[in-house]
């Protein structure tokens, strides 16, 4: 699945950007929530999530890049988030928060910064619906893909294959048509793309190209 990230959309025309991607075939949208503490930037609040759910028929993948995810996740759950992921580096109570998210009927994801080893999620991997591997340092859009991420994806994929039912692997940061196949081949199946889509000359064509590449890779 190719998931457009609205962090790279035109902030003065977010609704138009979402509608454009929906018409192009997108269904799920990534929403980065930054608090200016855990990462050096500020972005959106729950009102944006609420407005998008009210206006459109879509799935919202809310990524909490915040110091206190266990305190703020409910704001976004109540606003209409469908998926909620948070950073394992941000709380010592990951297992508790995963259960709190799932008790609300939402998909729960755990996120790893580029320097965080994959092994850290093994004790709770049975509990999550997806693992988000950051392929850039979180906090800013438009960064280049960190090549060593491919090894982490491979490692996580190998571990999951030994499980009866493992989580999906999501990757976010610096992914576009030029390296999409590498990321898919490594084992990812949820691809977040922001700048490569919205900063391109033709966002619709770029999204459709990546979607077709993903479907071709899956043999659809």
Residues that are catalytic: 32, 172
- What whole-number distance in Å separates Cα of residue 33 and Cα of residue 111? 13
b/e code 183-197 from CB counts within 10 Å (16+ = b): bbebbbbbbbbbbbb
- What whole-number distance in Å separates Cα of residue 168 and Cα of residue 130? 4
- What whole-number distance in Å separates Cα of residue 108 and Cα of residue 131? 9
């Amino acid at each position: 699945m190719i998931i457009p990230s609205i962090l790279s959309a035109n902030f003065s025309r977010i609704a138009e950007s979402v509608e454009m991607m929906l018409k192009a075939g997108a269904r799920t949208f990534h929403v980065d929530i930054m608090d200016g503490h855990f990462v050096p930037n500020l972005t959106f609040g729950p009102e944006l999530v609420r407005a998008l759910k009210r206006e459109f028929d879509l799935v919202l993948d809310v990524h909490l890049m915040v110091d206190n995810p266990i305190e703020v996740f409910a704001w976004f759950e109540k606003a209409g988030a469908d998926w909620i992921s948070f950073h394992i580096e941000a709380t010592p109570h990951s297992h508790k928060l995963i259960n709190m998210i799932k008790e609300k009927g939402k998909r729960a994801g755990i996120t790893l910064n580029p320097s965080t080893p994959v092994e850290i999620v093994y004790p709770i991997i049975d509990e999550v619906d997806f693992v988000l591997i950051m392929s850039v340092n979180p906090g800013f859009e438009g960064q280049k893909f960190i090549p060593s991420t491919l090894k982490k994806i491979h490692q996580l994929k190998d571990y999951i294959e030994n499980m009866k039912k493992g989580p999906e692997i999501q990757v976010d940061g610096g992914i576009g048509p030029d390296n999409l196949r590498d990321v898919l081949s490594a084992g990812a199946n949820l691809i977040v793309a922001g700048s490569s889509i919205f900063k391109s000359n033709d966002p619709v064509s770029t999204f459709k190209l990546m979607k077709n590449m993903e479907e071709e890779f899956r043999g659809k």
